[in-house]
Chain A
Amino acid sequence: MTTVRMPPPLPTRLRTQIPSGGLSPMLSRLAAERATGVLMREGGMLYLSDGQVMYAESPATPGLDVLLIARGALDEDGWREAVAQAGARRLVGRFLVDSGRISQGALELCHLGALYDAAYFVLGPSSAPARFRYGEPHWLGPVRPVPVTAVERETVRRRELLHGIWPDPAADEAPLVRADRPPGATVAPRQEAVLARIDGVSTATDISRVLGRPAFHTLVDVRRLAAAGFVTPRAAEPDPAGPAPGSPTPVPVEEFPLFTDPHITLLKRLRDALEAL
């Protein structure tokens, strides 16, 4: 029997449904005015063109290059050359297809995968203000633009999916440790690959990069593994045994303070109002 340490509730907004103003009121407004540029939020960046999402980037997710190379669709030299040749013209995607390095379909699928993956993290709950810089198309160029509403809908669906698998989000960001393998339990091959890389230091994001898989997919696997009792997030206190010799010193995880201040609701409303400006 595994005991689950539930973290204190965090003062973030629970948005399992898209509020009338959209996941980010600013993003909805930019879509309505058909803006072109880059939206910068705490979790990463969304590139818009004519009010549609062209690409998304987040430090939490592997980029399109990592996914393409991991799938064997492209090699590193091919990617580097495409960026060197077409990066300045902001048409890297088209260059990859025109030069025969990759088919349009394979590029589209990987691009959509990377876009929705990063957008999930960009549109995650955040307490920092968002900024928008007009007029900067992404160097990848147009591959397959997606409407803002589709990105928001998918992001909300993904949140619900994760919540349905295992409601504790603690394993999403913390370094992961292996729990005692529950007797008789089996793990799918894709999850086995994730499990094999759990070393007490790596987070889900680190594992995605190593495996060349979208970060959200790793979160799904990690939550399934957590639900089955294979994995737990590492507690904030360093392990008494210490990290394995030779491995880098892990950065301690910040423990969230308990919020008991009754004014927190007022502050949250203020924040919402400011974000909606």
Chain B
Amino acid sequence: MANTETALKEALASIEGATGVALVDYTSGMALGTMGGSKSFDLTVAAAGNTDVVRSKLRTMEHLGLKGQIEDILITLSDQYHLIRLISGRGGNGLFLYLVLDAKRANLAMARHQLKKIEEDLEV
């Protein structure tokens, strides 16, 4: 696999409209790597907060007795998309990729597809 920095750089460079990406451990809420973001958009804060989103969804699925795995979670804002992709590799237990997209420039279907490819590359 690529090293984490390369994988995140690739995500930012190759996905149209991507403005930030983070690799996050969802038990601790720690961002193991971030790329992009800005002064007004702190990716480490976003990473920590979104662990709660992932945890709530997993819990709700348990309560409902759903056996499927979460592939990704999409949040749409008026001007941004946030895409969360859970890493399912054998050692990736408990990690997710968090991608911030500019809604005007992004192609959602394409971004989803590319993020999946980057997840495969990471194969942690």
Q: Which residues of A contact B (CB under 8 A)?
A: 71-73, 103-106, 108-109, 112-113, 116, 154, 157-158, 161, 186, 188, 190, 214, 216-217, 220-221
Q: A72-B90, A113-B32, A186-B63 are in contact. Are A217 and B27 (CB under 8 A)?
A: yes
Q: A71-B91, A188-B58 are in contact. Are A105 and B28 (CB under 8 A)?
A: no
Cα distance A17–B38 in the bound complex, in angstroms: 24
Residues from chain A with Cβ under 8 Å of B28 in the complex: 116, 158, 161, 214, 216-217, 220
Most buried by A among B1, B27, B29, B94: B27
Other A-B pairs beyond A109-B32, A220-B28, 11, CB < 8 Å: A71-B90, A71-B93, A104-B2, A106-B1, A106-B123, A116-B30, A157-B30, A188-B58, A190-B27, A214-B27, A221-B27
B120 within 8 A of A: no
B122 within 8 A of A: yes
B29–A161 CB distance below 8 A:
yes
Most buried by A among B7, B25, B58, B95: B25
Name A189's closest neighbour in chain B (CB-CB). B62
A220–B27 CB distance below 8 A:
yes
Cα distance A18–B35 in the bound complex, in angstroms: 25
Q: B124 touches which one: A106, A154, A220 (CB < 8 A)?
A: A106
Q: Which 6 A-B pairs have the closest CB atoms?
A: A71-B91, A104-B3, A103-B1, A217-B27, A105-B3, A105-B1
Instruction: Supply 14 A–B pairs (Cβ within 8 Å), ascending by A.
Output: A72-B90, A105-B1, A105-B4, A105-B7, A106-B1, A109-B124, A116-B28, A158-B28, A161-B28, A186-B62, A186-B63, A188-B62, A217-B94, A220-B28
A112–B32 CB distance below 8 A:
yes
Cα distance A261–B114 in the bound complex, in angstroms: 63
A interface SS class: helix
B59–A188 CB distance below 8 A:
yes
Name A112's closest neighbour in chain B (CB-CB). B32
Name A216's closest neighbour in chain B (CB-CB). B28
Number of interchain pairs (Cβ within 8 Å): 61
B48 within 8 A of A: yes
A108–B4 CB distance below 8 A:
yes
Residues from chain A with Cβ under 8 Å of B90 in the complex: 71-72
Residues from chain B with Cβ under 8 Å of A116 in the complex: 28, 30
Binary interface profile of B, 24-49, with partner A (CB < 8 Å = 1, else 0)? 01011110100000000000000010
Name B90's closest neighbour in chain A (CB-CB). A72
A190–B32 CB distance below 8 A:
no
Residues from chain A with Cβ under 8 Å of B94 in the complex: 190, 217
What's the minimum C-beta distance from B98 to chain A, rounded to whole angstroms?
15
Binary interface profile of B, 69-93, with partner A (CB < 8 Å = 1, else 0)? 0000000000000000000001101
Residues from chain A with Cβ under 8 Å of B91 in the complex: 71-73, 106
What's the minimum C-beta distance from B115 to chain A, rounded to whole angstroms?
16
Name B23's closest neighbour in chain A (CB-CB). A109
Residues from chain B with Cβ under 8 Å of A71 in the complex: 90-91, 93
Binary interface profile of B, 109-123, with partner A (CB < 8 Å = 1, else 0)? 000000000000011
Cα distance A174–B25 in the bound complex, in angstroms: 26
What's the minimum C-beta distance from A153 to chain B, rounded to whole angstroms?
8
What's the minimum C-beta distance from B85 to chain A, rounded to whole angstroms?
16
Residues from chain A with Cβ under 8 Å of B29 in the complex: 157, 161
Residues from chain B with Cβ under 8 Å of A72 in the complex: 90-91
Residues from chain A with Cβ under 8 Å of B25 in the complex: 113
Name A116's closest neighbour in chain B (CB-CB). B30
Residues from chain B with Cβ under 8 Å of A217 in the complex: 27-28, 94
Cα distance A161–B52 in the bound complex, in angstroms: 11
What's the minimum C-beta distance from B89 to chain A, rounded to whole angstroms?
10
Name B63's closest neighbour in chain A (CB-CB). A186
Cα distance A221–B94 in the bound complex, in angstroms: 13
